[in-house]
Amino acid sequence: MSLDQRHRPVTEAEIERYESDGVVLLHDIIDPAWLEVLREGLREVFYSQWGQHAVQYDSTATAREAAAAGMSVLSDERSVAIQEPGRFLSAISSWTYNDKIRRVALQSPLASIAGALFRSNKVNYYDDQVLLKEAGTKEYTAFHTDEPYYHLSGQQVCGMWVSPDPVGEDNSPMRYVRGSHKWGTFFLPNVFVAQDPMWEGEGMVRLPDIEGNEDEYDIVTITSEPGDVIVHHSNLIHGSKPNYHTTKARWASSFRYAGDDVRYKFHPSAPPQPHHHHDLVDGDVLDSDQFPVVWRRDQAVTADD
């Protein structure tokens, strides 16, 4: 089935919002048919394909282990009160084994949208993370930046957050610290369910306690409807609260794209990525089978045409 790769134009105001705030909500920019492909792919990854691939995470189990190890797992009165807790699951690089996620990653309008926001001449696909917070999931996604989890350098790296369902105030909408992509700090990665760093490295600093001092930061919560895409800079601090909704799961995906100025750079802070197969070294352009060019301004083509 061939799906429409066109989308409404990204406006200059939206590009400027992305550049200044580090995040922009693009209303009604992706066709519902693509969301159905995404929905089917997400269900396959989390139900029929769960446990079959190495880079899959059960953050609910991680929270139990972290608490047992003495870490301060993030919680609040509403999450503690949840009686029938759900699970927080995620998977990395599901495009490599799920054909529906692959189609959305490589053939949907997302690459063209990234090119417009980057003001770039080409766009590479880097990777994806798909996420499921079941109804009643107690776990936070602690504030963090994406940069230390990637092997990249450059300013034109974004995450494109898409859900096939409405995401409201109660079921873990995304939260962003506006303008934090300009702070110029390489923050330590954390374990998502707690603020504790998962790695210590020279030249990196621990994120401040934003959850405990929210009034001191310019935090925006972004709810979304099907067809919306939230795009954030990889250096922007972001996270989400628990899914307090008792009957509604929060399904989501974050597709990662890179523009002209991005080069490969190995970061020891990044978790193991056994799904990456390439011979790139620091300073190389990304163009490869692992990180394919999915859009060019002068050709307006996508991978796998």
φ/ψ of 144, rounded to 5, equals: -165, 170
Total Cβ atoms within 10 A of residue 282: 10
Would you state the pLDDT for residue 198?
82
Would you state the pLDDT for residue 2?
66
pLDDT at residue 19 greater than cutoff 50:
yes
pLDDT tens digit sequence for 100-135: 999 999 999 999 999 999 999 999 999 999 999 999
The mean predicted confidence, pLDDT, of the chain is 94
55-92 core/surface letters (b: 16 or more CB in 10 A; e: else): bbbebbebbeebeeeebebbbeeebeebeebbbbbbbb
Of residues 236, 211, 240, the one with CA closest to residue 223: 240
φ/ψ of 127, rounded to 5, equals: -175, 180
φ/ψ of 200, rounded to 5, equals: -115, 135
Would you state the pLDDT for residue 220?
98
Level-2 CATH architecture, domain 12-296: Sandwich (2.60)
Which of the two residues, 189 and 303, has the higher pLDDT score? 189
pLDDT tens digit sequence for 44-74: 999 999 988 879 999 999 999 999 999 999 9
φ/ψ of 94, rounded to 5, equals: -70, -10
Contact 124, 293 (CB under 8 A): yes
